[in-house]
Amino acid sequence: MADHQTAVHQESSAQEVGDFLRRRREQIAQRWADEALFRTVFTVSRDEAVEAGRAVVEALAAVAVAGRVEDLGAAGFATVRDQLGRMAASRARTGATSARIADEVAALRPAASELLSADLADSPRELAEECAVTLTALLGTLRLVVLETALSAGQELIDRQRLQLLEVATPVIKLWTGVVAVPLIGTLDSARSQVVMESLLDAVVSQQARFAILDITGVPTVDSLVAQHLMKTVAAARLMGAECIVSGIRPAIAQTIVHLGIDLGTVVTRASLADALAYALHRQGIAVVDQDRSGPSAR
Amino acid sequence: MTDTSGRVTACLPIRSDMDLAWVRQHVRQAAAQLGFGLVDQTKLVTAASELARNTLVHGGGGQVESTVLETGAARGLRLAFSDQGPGIPDIERALGDGYTSGGGLGLGLGGARRLVHEFSIDSRPGEGTAVTVICWTAGAPRPREESR
């Protein structure tokens, strides 16, 4: 019985808060426009901030009327999720931390609760208190929605950047007629090495390269999987008539490869990219000579 | 094997390729902080990469626990990889070079053993596999232990 009564109370207070929000939408939106969250996002015109505030208040009212004050997935939030996400993202871009954004959302509460208590001054104290609690819960949920939206936007950004990295990190450079090079950087996982192999083989065809240099100066760890990827790439290039040279093998990497037991005996390796280029030129019968030792072009 | 008084510094999950990168980074940082030389850092990171990939590919995912050890002047890093996968039926064979069940080079387990100072493996078919490795900072030379 008692439980039932509380439920009814909560429902009626949520209804009350919903009505209040709709009634006072304009005033709340006006006040929110001056709060840090709206003010810093909508710098161009205040009207825009008010307009955004109205939409958020309207959404909160819909959530309250539906009686889903603490439900993150309430239908009402769906309409403002985009907008809140944009606002949070724009705050994050200016360097605000998640905690700061959460604080700024929390700062919206006083403006609304002051109006609420003024509205309910003549109502029974019990109802006023319950409505205050409901409003607090509702704005707490809003805070969570904003943070959740901001975080998922961050995840999308990370996914997009990962894809970009996959493409950006594997440029094929023409070093000389018939000599191409790929500077490998970072972790060489299966997806990356697939991209590397494809772009290298494409370049071998398009540049009619006889020598392809894989430079691993920027690869921090060469384990057996990375070595296997390298060897597969070398073998594929060889099938297409290009000789592959792996360069940029640092002392620590060399010792690790030996201990690991990887046999790179079939692969031409060089310590630096310069050595690899010198090797490729030499094999093509090209000699680099100092024109004049005393001249400015001397090495 | 050694004293177990070390403090656990981190327990990282191994569930995806991204986790492997995270494990490598963590081990590199921890080794650098302990004063490992560049060669030893690279060896340990490579061993960790091999074992973490084994945990992921063969064990179906698991975790790694890293512990800083201190015995007298020597300091070391212990990495304990564990999974609840199918286990390894023939450990001797798995430790040998060229044996693979996953299409790799078959150098992971044996190679990792050669890259660290202490290596122990415990695997029960159907219950999972635990591999523990220890690397010591260069200093007092230690006899190499290889226990099962």
CB-CB under 8 Å, B50 with A259:
no
Q: Does the pLDDT at position B65 exceed 90?
A: yes
Which tens digit of pLDDT belongs to each residue from A86-102?
Answer: 788 788 778 788 888 88
Residues A65 and A184 both lie in one domain:
no
pLDDT of residue A166: 67
Question: Within an 8 Å CB–CB cutoff, is residue A189 touching chain B?
Answer: yes
CB-nearest to B50 from A189, A190, A223 is A223
Q: Does the pLDDT at position A141 exceed 60?
A: yes
pLDDT of residue A299: 44
ipTM of the complex: 0.79
Which has the minimum average pLDDT: A164-173, A185-194, A258-267, B124-133?
Answer: A164-173
Q: Does the pLDDT at position A5 exceed 70?
A: no
Most A CBs within 10 Å: which of B23, B27, B39, B45, as the mutation test of the A interface? B39
Residues A183 and A278 both lie in one domain:
yes
Which tens digit of pLDDT belongs to each residue from A32-82?
Answer: 888 888 888 888 888 888 888 888 888 888 888 888 888 888 888 887 787
CB-nearest to B107 from A190, A221, A261 is A261
- Name the domain count of chain A: 2
pLDDT of residue A294: 57
Question: Mean of the pLDDT values across residues A133-160?
Answer: 83
- Name the domain count of chain B: 1
Which has the minimum average pLDDT: A285-299, B16-30, B96-110?
Answer: A285-299
CB-CB under 8 Å, A222 with B107:
no
Question: Mean of the pLDDT values across residues B37-49?
Answer: 92
Question: Within an 8 Å CB–CB cutoff, is residue A161 touching chain B?
Answer: no
User: pLDDT band at residue A297, thresholds of 50, 70 and 90?
Assistant: very low
pLDDT of residue A6: 53
A89 lies in which domain range? 2-163
Hey, what are B74's tokens?
Answer: 């020597």
Q: Does the pLDDT at position A261 exceed 60?
A: yes
Residues A154 and A184 both lie in one domain:
no
A289 falls within a domain: no
Question: Within an 8 Å CB–CB cutoff, is residue B123 touching chain A?
Answer: no
pLDDT of residue A298: 40
Question: Mean of the pLDDT values across residues A258-281?
Answer: 91
Residues A107 and A89 both lie in one domain:
yes
Percentage of residues in chain B having pLDDT higher than 90? 40
Which H or E run includes A30?
A: helix A25-33
Q: Does the pLDDT at position A271 exceed 60?
A: yes
Buried b (16+ CB within 10 A) or exposed e, B105-126: bbbbbbbbbbbbbbbbbbbeee
pLDDT of residue B80: 94
Q: Which residues of B touch A256 (CB under 8 A)?
A: 39, 42-43, 46, 115
pLDDT of residue A213: 94
**Distance from A145 to chain B by nearest Cα, in Å?**
27
Q: How many CB pairs lie under 8 A apart between chains A and B?
A: 68
Question: Which of A141, A163, A185 is the C-terminal boundary of a domain?
Answer: A163
- Assign residue B92 the CATH number of its domain: 3.30.565.10
Residues A252 and A114 both lie in one domain:
no
Hey, what are A236's tokens?
Answer: 């594929």
pLDDT of residue B88: 85
Nearest to B119 by CA among B98, B145, B95: B145
Question: Mean of the pLDDT values across residues B11-22?
Answer: 88
The whole-angstrom separation of Cα B43 and Cα A80 is: 52
Residues A157 and A197 both lie in one domain:
no
Question: Within an 8 Å CB–CB cutoff, is residue A224 touching chain B?
Answer: yes
Residues A96 and A191 both lie in one domain:
no
B2 falls within a domain: no
CB-CB under 8 Å, B104 with A228:
yes
Contact A47, A118 (CB under 8 A): no
Expressed in percent and rounded to 5, the helix, strand and coil fractions of chain A are 65, 10, 25
Question: Within an 8 Å CB–CB cutoff, is residue A228 touching chain B?
Answer: yes
Q: How high does pLDDT run on average in chain A?
A: 84
Number of H helices, E strands in chain A: 12, 5
Which tens digit of pLDDT belongs to each residue from A224-236?
Answer: 888 888 898 999 9
A95: left (phi over 0), alpha (psi -120 to 50) or beta: left
Question: Mean of the pLDDT values across residues B6-28?
Answer: 86
Which tens digit of pLDDT belongs to each residue from A10-29?
Answer: 667 888 888 888 888 888 98
B37 lies in which domain range? 7-146
Please work out, in degrees rounded to the nearest 5, the angle formed at the alpha carbon of residue B118 by the alpha carbons of B123 and B47: 75
Residues A21 and A92 both lie in one domain:
yes
The whole-angstrom separation of Cα A199 and Cα A12 is: 65
Residues A9 and A115 both lie in one domain:
yes
Residues A205 and A131 both lie in one domain:
no
**Distance from A230 to chain B by nearest Cα, in Å?**
12
**Distance from A118 to chain B by nearest Cα, in Å?**
53
A154 falls within a domain: yes
